[in-house]
């Protein structure tokens, strides 16, 4: 039989190459499609987007972990349980992910306020994602089938898993040009997922109780997987690949487990569709609960360590969590003014932002290089905030109106381009110990001023919107124990002159002084700190630390607004917290927040990328 297979010419040769990672590419594409469809499904069902994103982040993390946990061997489980260290294993199975994701939904559905219908929201996007992932499995050669004499078989080149498995089993000689044709079980799985997705689409108008479609999808997928296992090569199955015989019937361990699960899930589906369907009710927003869930997820990823999640998985999770932080922070900051709003913004959002930086799983940055290195950084950022001040307007004959209380709300966007030289020796061997950065920022935004203490019925018409546009060249020098920064602000900067009045600043200076090593503990003073925008610069005094390195940094302290006129009893002082960190060797992120004073509020985010360095 083997000789006949060797003589048969291959009809479907897979152009797989051991030097290219098809699996990761399609894994990322599948995850991206799944999340995009889930976000759309949440929008279609009128779910509160912030709560929905929290649930997606939780289920995504447990799905990823479940695919890996179920594929651990006995020694790997022993390592995890005895040492707490995540094994460096690349095996995974979607069955474990489906189980972990379902258990997560069961655990979080009620606390987050969702009905049973939320299970159905995951059904169709998962089928679409699995179709994409099956293409990656075909090109990679994983999940392959047994040898076949049929013309539909796939052959794989040297360096792939089917080739190695058949070489080890003695089915092909060393140096063979390709493997024997094998059952395209990956394509069988692709067809299965597409058919299950079609069933879900055809039954989408049926008035079934919540959760019914989820159990229908799960039961059909498990039944199809049970059948496909009869043609799958055990060497390509990471879970339950040993054969067991019961009552004279021999099947893989996995098939013996799947059989009762199929009966259970399809039985639950049949039982559910006999019940009366109830309309779906969307959950209500709970910002504190959402942000505490974000902080909990980030602490969990930090505890798992860098081996548990790959870089694409970390980026997907952080994209979800960052979206939650932006939406929650903006909603709390720009909501109705009250005395408790600064605390509601500061406590959960500040905690989540700090943990976001401290749980970065990027590799620790290297120490100073022997040769001098130069690189360019491009960054984008945004900030929003509000402040109160007394001001007047110019009247007739050069006179001014009386001082009135104005509320300013502003939002700005920033583009930042800089060039940095790290310490080291140049080509002539001369040693340079200072890190030097020169750059320019462009700020664009708007400032809306109103008089909130006076109703419009007085006819004062005190509402005005002003364009903010400025250029900010700057330079910064940093050594081990001291750092100095200087900058100039030119343009339409906003209402932050020292004098009161309805005057817009057109020119201002900027300065910064750091004393102490950034890696351990340092003090910092800032004059006209922009907070990534020009709306309301702050004077700041704070203490910071790099937690023993330069990959992340936390700075907190007191901030004071400009010395313009304020209402009696109104404080110019606020607290602030700023965090920044290295997400990957090339990507950095930062965030800041002022808190503790409802008359001075500010929040911002920044993302930058370091371009290829030149030595």
Which of these ranges, 14-28, 108-122, 598-612, has the smallest mean pLDDT? 14-28
What is the phi/psi pair of residue 32, to 5°?
-60, -45
For residue 15, count other CB atoms closer than 10 A to its CB. 9
Average pLDDT score over the chain: 78
Which of these ranges, 205-209, 287-291, 551-555, has the smallest mean pLDDT? 287-291
Question: 196 pLDDT exceeds 90?
Answer: yes
Fold assignment, 375-391+401-423+432-615:
Lipocalin (2.40.128)
Instruction: Name the band, by pLDDT with cuts 50, 70 and 90, for residue 276.
Output: confident
Domain ranges of the chain: 1-12+114-285, 375-391+401-423+432-615
Would the CA dihedral through 402, 405, 407, 413 be positive or negative? positive
pTM score over 0.85: no
Q: What's 182's DSSP letter?
A: B
Instruction: DSSP for 50-101, please give it.
Output: HHHHHHHHHHHHHHHHHHHHTT--HHHHHHHHHH-PPP------HHHHHHHH
| E strand spans, 192-308 | 243-246, 249-252
The position carrying tokens 């020169």 is: 438
What is the per-residue pLDDT across 142-184, written as a single tens digit (0 to 9) for each? 888 899 887 788 888 888 888 888 888 888 888 888 888 999 9
Instruction: Name the band, by pLDDT with cuts 50, 70 and 90, for residue 224.
Output: very high
Would the CA dihedral through 175, 179, 180, 181 be positive or negative? negative
Which of these ranges, 42-46, 131-135, 276-280, 339-343, has the smallest mean pLDDT? 339-343
Question: 345 pLDDT exceeds 80?
Answer: no
Do 576 and 558 form a contact (C-beta atoms < 8 A)? yes
Joined together, the tokens standing for residue 476 give: 């910064």
Do 512 and 361 form a contact (C-beta atoms < 8 A)? no
What is the per-residue pLDDT across 350-383, written as a single tens digit (0 to 9) for each? 544 544 444 444 333 333 444 567 888 998 888 8
Question: 595 pLDDT exceeds 80?
Answer: no
Query: What local confidence, expressed as pLDDT, does residue 354 receive?
Result: 46
Q: What contacts 24+ positions apart, CB below 8 Å, involve 255-261?
A: 255/226, 255/229, 258/222, 258/225, 258/226, 258/229, 259/226, 261/222
Joined together, the tokens standing for residue 53 give: 């994103």
For residue 274, count other CB atoms closer than 10 A to its CB. 8
Instruction: DSSP for 317-359, please give it.
Output: HHHHHHHHHHHHHHHHHSS---TTHHHHHHHHHHHHHHHHHHT
Question: 54 pLDDT exceeds 90?
Answer: no
Query: What local confidence, expressed as pLDDT, does residue 499 receive?
Result: 53
State the Cα–Cα distance between residues 545 and 539, nearest whole angstrom: 20
What is the per-residue pLDDT across 407-456, written as a single tens digit (0 to 9) for each? 888 888 898 989 888 876 445 544 445 688 999 998 888 888 886 544 44
State the Cα–Cα distance between residues 188 and 201, nearest whole angstrom: 20
Do 517 and 328 form a contact (C-beta atoms < 8 A)? no
Do 157 and 178 form a contact (C-beta atoms < 8 A)? yes
């Amino acid at each position: 039989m083997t000789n006949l297979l060797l003589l048969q010419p291959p009809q479907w040769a897979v152009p797989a190459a051991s030097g290219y990672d098809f699996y990761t590419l399609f894994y990322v594409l599948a995850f991206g499609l799944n999340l995009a469809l889930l976000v759309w499904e949440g929008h279609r069902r009128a779910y509160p987007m912030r709560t929905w994103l929290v649930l997606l982040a939780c289920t995504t993390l447990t799905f990823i972990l479940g695919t890996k946990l179920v594929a651990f061997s006995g020694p790997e489980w022993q390592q995890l349980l005895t040492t707490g260290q995540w094994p460096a294993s690349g095996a995974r199975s979607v069955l474990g992910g489906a189980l972990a994701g379902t258990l997560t939904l069961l655990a979080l559905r009620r606390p987050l306020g969702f009905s049973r219908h939320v299970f159905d929201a995951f059904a169709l996007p998962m089928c679409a994602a699995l179709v994409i992932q099956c293409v990656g499995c075909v090109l990679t050669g994983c999940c392959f089938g047994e040898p076949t004499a049929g013309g539909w078989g796939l052959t794989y080149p040297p360096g792939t898993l089917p080739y190695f498995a058949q070489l080890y089993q003695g089915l092909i000689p060393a140096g063979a040009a390709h493997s024997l044709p094998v059952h395209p079980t990956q394509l069988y799985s692709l067809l299965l997922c597409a058919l299950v997705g079609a069933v879900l689409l055809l039954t989408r108008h049926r008035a079934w109780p919540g959760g019914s479609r989820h159990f229908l999808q799960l039961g059909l997928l498990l039944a199809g997987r049970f059948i496909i296992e009869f043609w799958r090569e055990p060497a390509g199955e990471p879970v339950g690949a040993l054969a067991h015989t019961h009552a004279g019937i021999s099947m893989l361990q996995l098939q013996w487990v799947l059989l009762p699960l199929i009966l259970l899930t399809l039985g639950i589906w049949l039982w559910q569709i006999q019940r009366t369907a109830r309309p779906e009710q969307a959950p209500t927003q709970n910002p504190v609960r959402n942000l505490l869930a974000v902080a909990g997820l980030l602490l969990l990823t930090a505890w798992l360590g860098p081996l548990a999640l790959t870089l694409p998985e970390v980026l997907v999770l952080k994209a979800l969590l960052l979206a939650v932080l932006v939406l929650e922070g903006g909603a709390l900051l720009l909501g109705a003014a009250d005395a408790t709003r600064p605390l509601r913004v500061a406590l959960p959002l500040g905690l989540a932002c700090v943990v976001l930086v401290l749980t970065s799983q990027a590799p620790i940055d290297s120490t100073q290089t022997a040769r001098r290195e130069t690189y360019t950084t491009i960054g984008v950022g945004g900030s929003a905030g509000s402040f109160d001040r007394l001001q007047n307007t110019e009247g007739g004959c050069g006179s001014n109106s009386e001082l009135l209380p104005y509320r300013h709300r502003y939002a700005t966007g920033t583009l930042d381009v800089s060039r940095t030289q790290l310490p080291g020796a140049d080509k002539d061997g001369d040693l340079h110990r200072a890190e030097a950065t020169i750059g320019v920022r462009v700020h664009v935004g708007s400032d809306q001023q109103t008089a909130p203490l006076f109703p419009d019925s007085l006819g004062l018409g005190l509402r005005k919107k002003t364009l903010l546009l400025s250029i900010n060249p700057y330079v910064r020098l940093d050594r081990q124990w001291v750092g100095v920064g200087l900058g100039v602000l030119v343009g339409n900067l906003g209402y932050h002159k020292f004098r009161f009045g309805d005057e817009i600043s057109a020119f201002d200076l900027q300065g910064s002084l750091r004393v102490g090593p950034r890696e351990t503990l340092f003090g910092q003073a800032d004059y006209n700190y922009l907070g990534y925008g020009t709306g309301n610069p702050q004077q700041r005094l704070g203490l910071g630390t790099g937690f023993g390195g330069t990959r992340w940094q936390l700075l907190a302290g007191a901030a004071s607004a400009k010395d313009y006129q304020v209402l009696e009893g109104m404080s110019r002082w606020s607290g602030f917290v700023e965090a920044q960190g290295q997400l990957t060797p090339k990507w950095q992120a930062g965030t800041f927040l002022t808190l503790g004073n409802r008359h001075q509020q500010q929040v911002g985010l920044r993302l930058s990328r370091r371009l290829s360095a030149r030595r």
